[in-house]
Amino acid sequence: MISAHILTLLIFTPLVGGVLLLFFRNESVVKSIAILFSAADVALAIYLYLSFDPAGNQFQFVEEMPWITNLNISYHLGIDGISLLLVSLTTLLTLVSLVASWSSIQKRVKAFNFFILFLEVGMIGVFSSLDLFLFYIFWEAMLIPMYFIIGIWGHERRVYAAIKFFIYTMFGSLLMLVAIIWLGYYAGTLPQGKFTTNLVELYKIAPTIPLSVQTWMFLAFTLSFAIKVPVFPLHTWLPDAHTEAPMAGSVLLAGVLLKMGTYGLLRFSLPLFPQSTFIFLPLMAILAIIGILYGALVSMVQKDLKKLVAYSSVAHLGFVVLGIFAITIESIQGSVIQMVNHGFTTGMLFLLVGMLYDRRHTREINEFGGLAKVVPLLATFFMIAMLGSIGLPGLNGFVGEFLILLGSFKSEFLGNEAYAIAATLGVILAAVYMLWMYQRVFFKTVDNPRNQSLKDLDVREVAVLVVMVLFIIWIGIYPMTFLSKSEPAVKALVDTMARAKIGVLTSVR
Amino acid sequence: MKMIPLSYYIVLSTLLFTVGVVGVLTLRNAIVIFMSIELMLNSVNLTLIAFSAYSGDPAGQILVFFVIAVAAAESAVGLAIIIAIFRNRLTVNVDEVNILKW
Amino acid sequence: MYHYIAWVVVFPIFGVIINGILGSTLQKKFGEKFVGVIGSATIGFSFLLALGIFLDMLGEPETSRSHIVEVYRWIATGGLTVNVSYLVDQLSIVMLLIVTGVSFLIHIYSIGYMHGDRGVFRFFTYLNLFVFAMLNLVLADNYLLMFLGWEGVGLCSYLLIGFWYDRKFGGVGITWTGDAGMKAFIVNRIGDFAFLIGMFLIFVNFGSFNFEAIFPGISARFGSGDATLTWITLLLFIGATGKSAQIPLYVWLPDAMAGPTPVSALIHAATMVTAGVYMIGRSAVLYALSPTTMLIVAIVGATTAIYAASMGLVQNDIKKILAYSTISQLGYMFLAMGVGAFSAGIFHLMTHAFFKALLFLGAGAVIHALHESQDIREMGGLKNFMPVTYKTFLMASLAISGIPPLAGFFSKDEILSHVYASSLWLWLVGVVTAFLTAFYIFRLFILTFEGKPRFDVHHLHVHDAPRSMLLPLWVLGILSIVGGWVGIPTSLGGGEWFDKFLEPVFDPAVARMPSIFFVEHSTEYILMVFSVLLAVGGIYLAYTAYLRKPEISAKIKSAVGDFYDVLINKYYVDEIYRAIIVKPLVYVSDRYLWRGIDETAIDGSVNGIGKFVRLVGRIGRRLQSGLVQNYILAFVLGIIIIMGYLILK
């Protein structure tokens, strides 16, 4: 019974919790309800994970109910290995950020918790939608709570950052809406076809669209995703949004929202428009590599700790985009696992920066120094997160990065090893900016007197960080738990693209 | 008997109307603007009567009654508004009452 | 017994977990010794197990001494399948014994050395983690797992160099010990970049990272001098220059002396830096088929050897001298690998581990005794104050100078005779370096231990180290003497047991080399005599210059003048790197990338759009004057235009 509607449950449980908590006045009760419902979602996700059939490459747990019948729009949900991982990540990170923010959010606690839960609804909805219209609704629905979260509970330039985030992202989304409608309309012009936004059907139809039209649709979709990822040069909303957002906002923004862009590329841009993908492949790969190197170099010279981590996200997602457009099983698997990894490592970094901010109310790097002596536990967790981020073998980041680089090196779609070689330089640069930052913040002596009496982590903070570390190590040492789930879906995608390349346009699904 | 050519009435009307329009657009005193509006309305009345007389259709003249009634009502309301504005701002100079903007 | 190989690797992890998580509490409650014993015991168990496996192996027939033990499937997706599995063969067992044995001794030493430090548990956690990584490196049966160990030891090196992270340390662009650690990690990463590309090439050509899938049957597909193989071996070698501190990526090693001396002994002398040599040894088949790369390896090795030795001549910091000495000796090992003398290189790796670790540990004892002074100009006469250290240091110094019958003589001689057979020039470089080695090490020895004390005898109570520190010194001292006896060449009536033991591993490589280099016994005798004479000469010169007639050194210094400055400033290489790479990169990133592109160009356009919209609004707003008459005018104009349009149509 549960498994028949588990996706709907996953999506709307947080909403129920969000509405419920509005009725209570006591802040602790409100926070507890929020945590309870998001924990329930985590439990559902675990159930989902365990009941997922690892061999199938079709969508699983499919729910389909007609909605707007004369436009063929239905309430259509389903997941495959890729979305399974991302949905699980979302539930986990939401719970983590709620627990971590227990003491950082002082004002309007009800609204904050409501918005976080509302955000979770949107995020899981995006990953499980198989109907383009439904997908669009969830996609846009995420913008509103995020806008409020940044704009109300953020830092000094929060209003500017929130507006920039909203408008920038919405601009892309509107173009995507045009493309969705166009696509549905095109389906209607086919003999015996009708307007539809059903993804499974569009998988069969879209690759047959004449190239001149298909290119525009591809661009519309990809632009929207490229803004979200973000791909250079559309990335400038990210440093502001990440820096000004409160800790929970940054964790979810970096941990999940950015992945929607890359997920969109995998779920829509590539399989719907393969021929256009091939045309734009070199461009996207180059932009990805610029992102890797540029993101790292700009990260290096930042003076604000959070901005540094924000720019590092640009660099990390650059790897993911490269992996996607290399279109080999290894590289896309690497991208998928790296999406999950980034959620953990960068999410953990934002948690730690948030914890530092809670204590000192500053994010300036030169306000710190010598912290390893004062808060050794925090310093240790920070070291682990940092090492995961720079791809130390044995931790999660290495698995993703290595698969991406290896896959890109041997990719026939990219055709040139130079892409992978340029991207590997990012490995050096990542160490540079991270270690230098760690040196200035945690090592050296405690020069600033305000740093001398900082309190180390409390039990709640340690609990949250331990959960993150657990996954960082688990994925690094035994990634097969996760890689095996997504492999069939990735294989299907690569197969589809390979056939499209040689002109065979049947979809594997 | 020779009748006055229709075109004379039309031209007179047009001239009166134009004077009225220019008055509305350029004069500053609100009451004088209302006078100009009355002038415009009456010029239209003149046109209607002229056409009615020359075509023998009484519809024009009946329309004139409507116009006169409406003009009277509108003047009453308009002057009431001007008096209210005067009580607030102590001026009937339209240049100084420019709050219908951003 | 090799089935238990995984335990050898896992024991240190127990140490990491116990000391890492509970260490702080354990140290407070039970003291440093407790924590130190836990840390050392884990390595001790590993060593014992390794010894057991070795003894087992001796009982096996030569042809079946290679075993693979699969632990679990690590990464498998698409065409890639990589397992955590370990290769136990002659080469890996030799490395295993060296790593666990020397580590164990240094762990014991550290209990005494790190006395009084509030972070002893942290130290042992990092040391154990290091051993874990190093063991993975030498036992891996595939390049990816080796790479895990490769980077893992780099991490531990970083953590341990900057162990006293709140201490300052001078260097080019370095203010704190943490900066030195960072430098080590980053320079290593540059080498890792090349290593990764090499690995990608391997995968594309062989479909796997497993040694078993690459080496056997390779000649069927790749001939000698094949371009792809040359690239692979070259890239892997560049990675090795980073890890093993050869030109051009050696610059991190002298600064790594910022770390505690046991770290310098273990990581930067005996084990981590030898990873590159081991890697070439393991990949010998690939290198044998790439003569171009071999030549490059030999030349780089030889050049580094003499280059580093030249810098070691003039340093005044006891650890820095030893650091340059390490770089130089590693050069010898690479030189050996480059001419195809693979087991000679590993032999020297082993003897070097003994005497270099001993030298460092002895230096540590001296530094401790003199309350953290490291400048040899402020030492002298310690032989009366620290007799055990004196004796063992002498053993090590004789060993490194290549005086028979100590260990260094046999290994160095084997290398030099192979080199002589291959190239006269390289051999000359080798012997000159040997001369310089003897000279600089005895300069160090004399200035530290002989002569009159130049330190404050009355205020500093100088005595020999505690027993926990002296025991490893004795063990290593004995090993420095007898360690070479497993490799006595046949020319001197020995059995060459070491080479014979490793023969099955290196045979496939040696068989594929274009030409084999070996010398006649008669030539070998001449070479031996020659090198011993040079060594003795170097020692004698050092005695003369520094003990009997100290005025000579001052005269030489003034005669050489500027060149001396160049030497003591390490040929200004650090400064050059900083000026060419570091500074421009930071500058360009700050000015042009961040402020230029990101803030001005991109964000400028984004904000510019906003500004533009506001501008249009501002202009458009002027239409709303608030004057009713303007609005009526607009109506009238509109009507005229519309009517005009309708009429004219």
User: Rounded distance, CA C270 to CA A187, Å?
Assistant: 70
Q: Which residue of C has its CA nearest to B33?
A: C629
pLDDT of A83 higher than 90: yes
Q: What is the pLDDT of residues A447-467, one digit of tens each?
A: 888 888 888 899 999 999 999
C612 touches chain A (CB under 8 A): no
pLDDT band at residue B1 under the 50/70/90 scheme:
low
Alpha-carbon gap, residue A399 to C136, rounded angstroms: 17
Using CB atoms within 10 Å of the CB of residue C75, give its burial: 0 to 12 exposed, 13 to 18 middle, 19+ buried: buried
Rounded distance between C-alpha atoms, residue C637 and residue C649, angstroms: 18
What is the average pLDDT across C537-546?
Answer: 87
Q: Mean pLDDT over residues C455-466, rounded?
A: 81
Above pLDDT 70, what percent of chain C?
Answer: 100
CA triple C440-C445-C450, angle to 5 deg: 135
Contact yes or no for A253/A94 (Cβ under 8 A): no
Residues on chain B touching C633 (C-beta within 8 angstroms): 25
State the first-to-last Cα distance of chain B, in angstroms, to the nearest integer. 61
| Cα–Cα distance, C344 to C498 (Å, whole number) | 9
Q: Is C558's pLDDT higher than 80?
A: no
pLDDT of res. C412 = 92
Q: What is the pLDDT of residue A41?
A: 94
R_g of chain B computed on alpha carbons: 17
**Residue from A85, A303, A402 whose CB has the most chain C CBs within 10 Å, to mutate:** A402
Contact C627 B26 (CB under 8 A): no
Q: State yes or no: pLDDT of C31 exceeds 80.
A: yes
Mind telling me how many Å the CA of C640 is from chain B's nearest CA? Answer: 13
- Interchain proximity C626–B101, CB inside 8 Å: yes
- Searching chain B, which residue's CA lies closest to the CA of residue C635? B25
Which chain B residues have a beta carbon less than 8 Å from that of C629?
24-26, 33, 94
Given this model, what pLDDT does residue C544 score? 84
Q: Are A33 and A15 in contact (CB under 8 A)?
A: no
Question: Quick check: do A and B touch, 3+ CB pairs under 8 A?
Answer: no
* B102/C621 touch (CB, cutoff 8 Å), yes or no: yes
Q: Which residues of A touch C594 (CB under 8 A)?
A: 298, 301-302
Would B101 be classed as within a structural domain?
Answer: no
The type of residue at C110 is S
The model's confidence at residue C214, banded by pLDDT at 50, 70 and 90, is: very high
pLDDT band at C560 (very low <50, low <70, confident <90, very high): confident
Is the distance from CB of A49 to CB of A84 less than 8 angstroms?
yes
Q: Which of A409, A473, A475, A490 to mutate to test the interface with C (most CBs of C within 10 A)?
A: A409
Outline where C380-496 has alpha helix (H).
387-401, 407-422, 424-449, 467-482
Q: Is residue B32 part of a domain?
A: yes
Q: What is the mean pLDDT of residues C429-434?
A: 94
Residue C338's closest CA among C509, C221, C147, C141? Answer: C509
Q: How confident is the model at residue B33 (pLDDT cuts 50, 70, 90)?
A: very high
Contact status of C63 with chain B (Cβ, < 8 Å): no
ipTM surpassing 0.95, yes or no? no
Segments forming the whole domain that contains residue B17: 6-89
In a mutational test of the C interface, the residue from B18, B19, B101 whose CB has the highest number of chain C CBs within 10 Å is B101
User: CA nearest B100 in C: which residue?
Assistant: C626
Residues of chain A with C-beta less than 8 angstroms from the C-beta of C80: 330, 403, 406
Sign of CA dihedral A376, A381, A385, A390: positive
Do the Cβ atoms of A409 and A333 come closer than 8 Å?
A: no
Q: Do A236 and C189 touch (CB under 8 A)?
A: no
Residue carrying structure tokens 């020359």: B54
- Suggest the residue from C24, C75, C160, C195 to mutate for an interface test with chain A (most A CBs closer than 10 A): C75
Which position has the token pair 């790097």?
A365
Residue A124 or residue C171, greater confidence:
A124
A421 CB neighbours in chain C (<8 A) are 197
Q: Is the pLDDT of residue A252 over 60?
A: yes
pLDDT at A504: 62
Lowest mean pLDDT segment, chosen from A399-403, C195-199, C617-621: C617-621
Question: In this complex, do A298 and C593 lie within 8 Å of one another by their Cβ atoms?
Answer: yes
Partner residue facing B25 (CB), from C624, C626, C629? C629
The verdict on residue B83 lying in a domain is yes
Q: How much is the average pLDDT of C611-625? A: 86
Length of chain B: 102
For chain A, say whether C193 makes contact (Cβ under 8 Å). Answer: yes
**What dihedral angle (degrees, nearest 10) is formed by the CA atoms of C544, C547, C548, C553?**
60
Q: Is the pLDDT of residue C245 over 70?
A: yes
Q: How far apart are CA A383 and CA A28, in angstroms?
A: 32
Asked if C554 has any chain B CB less than 8 Å from its own CB, the reply is no
Q: Is C205's pLDDT higher than 80? A: yes
Q: Which chains touch B (3 or more CB pairs under 8 A)?
A: C
Rounded Cα–Cα distance for residues B62 and C41 (Å): 119
Residues 6+ away with beta carbon under 8 Å from B101: C624, C625, C626
Output the pLDDT for position A221. 94
Distance separating alpha carbons of residues C596 and C604, to the nearest angstrom: 10
Residue C592 has pLDDT above 90, yes or no: no
The pLDDT of residue A505 is 59
pTM for this model (two decimals): 0.90
Query: What CATH number does residue B61 fall under?
Result: 1.10.287.3510
Residues in chain C: 649
What pLDDT, on a 0 to 100 scale, did the predictor assign at position C219?
86
pLDDT tens per residue, range A356-369:
998 999 999 988 98
pLDDT at A507 over 60: no
What is the token pair recorded at A210? Answer: 């004449």
- The reply to whether B99 falls in a domain is no
User: What DSSP state is assigned to residue A231?
Assistant: P
The answer, yes or no, to whether residue A142 has pLDDT greater than 70, is yes
The pLDDT of residue A506: 53
CA distances from A245 to A143, A239, A259, A354, C194 (A): 13, 10, 18, 10, 39
Determine the average pLDDT of the residues in C509-528: 83
Q: What is the pLDDT of residue C455?
A: 80
What is the 3-state composition of chain A as percent helix, strand, coil, each rounded to the nearest 5? 75, 5, 20
The distance of C143 to chain A (nearest Cα, Å) reads: 12
Residue C635 sits at the chain B interface (C-beta within 8 Å)? no
Residue B31 inside a domain? The answer is yes
- Total structural domains in chain B? 1
Cβ of C176 within 8 Å of Cβ of A373? The answer is: no
Test mutation, C619, C621, C622, C629, chain B, max B CBs within 10 A: C629
C627 touching B, CB under 8 A? yes
Instruction: Give the closest of C155, C197, C203 to A387, CB-based.
Output: C155
Taking only the tens place, the pLDDT of each residue in C278-329 is 999 999 999 999 999 999 999 999 999 999 999 998 888 999 999 999 999 9
In chain C, whose CA is at the least distance from the CA of A490? C78
> Nearest residue on chain A to C83, judged by CA atoms?
A478
Q: What is the percentage of chain A residues whose pLDDT exceeds 70?
A: 98
Mean pLDDT to the nearest integer, C557-585? 83
Residue B29: closest CA among B70, B80, B86, B72: B86
Mean pLDDT of chain C: 90
Say what the pLDDT of residue A103 is.
86
Closest Cα in chain C to B101 = C626
Are residues B98 and C626, on separate chains, in Cβ contact within 8 Å? yes
3-state secondary structure chain B: CCCCCHHHHHHHHHHHHHHHHHHHHHCCEHHHHHHHHHHHHHHHHHHHHHHHHHHCCCHHHHHHHHHHHHHHHHHHHHHHHHHHHHHHHCCCEHHHCCCCCC
- Shortest CA gap A241–chain C (Å): 13
**How far apart are alpha carbons A241 and A165 in whole angstroms?**
6
CB B52 within 8 A of CB B59: yes
Q: How far is C96 from chain A (nearest CA, A)?
A: 21
Amino acid identity, position C423: S
Distance in angstroms (rounded) separating the CA atoms of residues A197 and A207: 15
Structure tokens at A439: 């040196």
Q: List pLDDT tens digits, range A50-75.
A: 988 887 778 888 888 888 888 888 89
* Amino acid C600: pLDDT: 82
Of C80, C150, C151, the CB nearest to A406: C80
Share of chain C above pLDDT 90, in %: 61
Cα–Cα distance measured from residue C397 to residue C418, given in angstroms and rounded to the nearest whole number = 24
Looking at the complex, report in whole angstroms how far the Cα of residue C610 sits from the nearest Cα belonging to chain B: 20
Asked if pLDDT for residue A2 goes beyond 70, the answer is no
